[in-house]
Structure 1
Amino acid sequence: MTGAYGFVGNAVVRRLAEAGHEVVALTHRPSDVPLPELPVSRVAYGDIRDKTALADALHGVVGVCHLAALTRVRESFDRPEEYHDVNAGGTVALLDALAAASPNMPPKVILGSTAAVYGAPERQPIGEDTVPAPSNPYGASKLAADNALRARAETGEVQAVSLRCFNISGAVSGVGDADESRIIPKAVAVAAGRYPHLDMNGEGDAVRDFVHVDDLARAYVLALETSTSAPYRLYNVGATAASMSEIVDTVERVTGVAVPVVHRPPQPEPPRLVADISRITAELGWKPERSSLETLVSDAWSAVPSADR
């Protein structure tokens, strides 16, 4: 598993281990830095683009959950080449290493993709047949990764699934999302007193789709374990549609703390981006269990360090 020690990786590793899988973790963290405790059988160290590290990590594996990526939309505008190199180039490097490590048995690859590949389609909810039109370098880099995976699957090198995740939140075992450029982490950080207020575009009536990280982790396990005759499948993973103002209201209710909001001038943005999840429900039997807005916020709040509360 790549990206095993990230916000999503932490949840996926725990679900994989619970399902009886032995997990080998590839991490780019330095080998002399203590790692958080996770139920992994072995740790390999190195960058996702490092051929030697990949060869070590892939020895004896039969499946890969690929989560290692750069994921910040705003940052991707400043570093587009790096985002493409890591997200698309890293995926190609992984697939090349898999081909060398497993020449006779196509392994299963589950790629952590993103709804950002869709851009801002008019038709809602967004189905997997929507023509991709990413509006930022992050989405473009992940679409390139999707396409690389699809191409290898169609040649028979791998069996593959891309999980196009919408907004992920919540927490598992005390690990929440540290990216405070996102609405729920930022709102609970304001409630914790780390920031004086929350900036909001317009009145906060834009609606987005949110899914609990633990529900997403179950989707990875199902995608890994479910057999299909198709070489490549693509699934949206979303759960709960909520407006920005609804999120603030829920944070205030859950935490018991007022969240001051500064309303900035409205920005050009899609009014609604929500997922059609009928395909993953029908084909993998997946459905959200922990993705109510109350649970998403409660679990994110529980992961805020007590010293900040």
Structure 2
Amino acid sequence: MKILVTGAAGYVGRAVVNDLLAHGEQVVAVVHEHEPDLPDGVERRHADLTDHAAVSAAVRGTDGVCHLAGLARARLGSRPPTRYHAVNVTGTAHLLDAMAAETERTGRPAGLVLASTGSVYGRPARVPVDEATPRDPLHAYAASKAAAEDLIARQAATGVLGATTLRIFNAAGASAGRADRGLTRIIPRAVAVAAATRPTSPLEINGDGTAVRDFVHVRDVAAAFTRALRANSPGRHAVYNLGAHPASVRDLVASVERLTGNPVPLRHLPAVAQEARVLIADTTAIRTALGWAPTTQGLDDLVRDQWRTARRAEATP
């Protein structure tokens, strides 16, 4: 199959591209403003999600879509809610329009896999959360992802495509020799502090470090995309959580210090009221339906992978 990957230049997008290639799929990467370093054999098509015509052209001739492009969450309040809606919701609508047109042209409903987020659950009353847990998005990013999920579900119900939403909790680790470079995420940020790449800057954390999050290796996330894409069927929209290793911020810092042998100085900021104290995924559904399971044993595996890969990258001339 020829699979279109939006957000192919991103951290998770690159891992998805690599997994699809490893499973024999042809990959078409949607790129925006720059030419990313992607594997040989990957076709590149330029499109902005907010450009309906460009998205339509990018989709033409493809058999399925892994949709990872979008405006990611940054510091709360740093971007207007309308911008999240324009990119993550209207952009998804453009993609669905293009896929519907392609289905009408070929007579073959395609499959779509959406990268959503565990933050759509907000502050759940009980954990771990399963897919039936009511959503309660507390900020614009989560609300835009929830709206995109709903739009895809309604489109799938018409029979023009089959779709899966993957609610990713916290992707981490490295893929194809590339560590996570996103210093907005806590594992690469903690490893960077331990590596003394920012020696005068402590690791800033919100609250006392007891907040618990669920971490999953980026390669396992990518494997879930390939499995979900192949399991899609027209008229159906499936939703699955993706998590693997719950850990507190304190646990994470202790892991980084133990594995690197270096201290991670901390600076405590006020806790963010719009964040859950504990957010853990119940992954029973994806394990049962798709046979997916994490390949890592615990948080240390993710931290060790980030540390070793980042260090190799620094040593490479």
TM-score computed with the length of structure 1 as normaliser: 0.93
Task: For residues 160-179 of structure 1, give each alpha carbon's deviation from its aligned partner in whole angstroms, at most 9, with x where no partner exists.
Answer: 00000001111112323332
Partner of 2:174: 171
Partner of 1:66: 67
> C-alpha distance in 2, partners of 1:168/1:240?
10
Q: Which deviates the most, 143-152 or 285-294?
A: 285-294
Partner of 2:137: 134
Instruction: Indicate which of 269, 277, 300 corresponds to 1:271.
Output: 277
Instruction: After TM superposition, give the deviation of residue 189 of structure 1 in Å.
Output: 1.2
Partner of 2:148: 145
8 Å CA contact 1:17, 1:40 repeated in 2: no
Aligned-partner residue type, residue 28 of structure 1: H
Instruction: After TM superposition, give the deviation of residue 201 of structure 1 in Å.
Output: 3.0
8 Å CA contact 1:2, 1:66 repeated in 2: yes
Unaligned runs of 5+ in 2: none
- 3-state DSSP class of the match of 2:65? strand
- 3-state DSSP class of the match of 2:26? coil
Partner of 1:226: 231
8 Å CA contact 2:156, 2:235 repeated in 1: no
> C-alpha distance in 1, partners of 2:77/2:172?
20
Partner of 1:117: 120
1:210 matched to 2:215? The reply is yes
Partner of 2:287: 281
Give aligned-pair identity as a percent. Answer: 43
> C-alpha distance in 2, partners of 1:265/1:227?
43
Task: For residues 244-301 of structure 1, give each alpha carbon's deviation from its aligned partner in whole angstroms, at most 9, with x where no partner exists.
Answer: 0110011111212111112334454432110000000000000000262111111222
> C-alpha distance in 2, partners of 1:41/1:265?
45
Instruction: Tell me how large the CA RMSD over aligned residues is.
Output: 1.9
Partner of 1:302: 308
> C-alpha distance in 2, partners of 1:158/1:215?
25
8 Å CA contact 1:67, 1:112 repeated in 2: yes
Partner of 2:244: 239
Unaligned runs of 5+ in 1: none
Aligned-partner residue type, residue 185 of structure 2: R
8 Å CA contact 1:215, 1:291 repeated in 2: no
Aligned-partner residue type, residue 15 of structure 2: A
> C-alpha distance in 2, partners of 1:108/1:27?
20
Aligned-partner residue type, residue 37 of structure 1: L
Aligned-partner residue type, residue 276 of structure 2: P
Instruction: After TM superposition, give the deviation of residue 20 of structure 1 in Å.
Output: 0.7
Partner of 1:191: 194
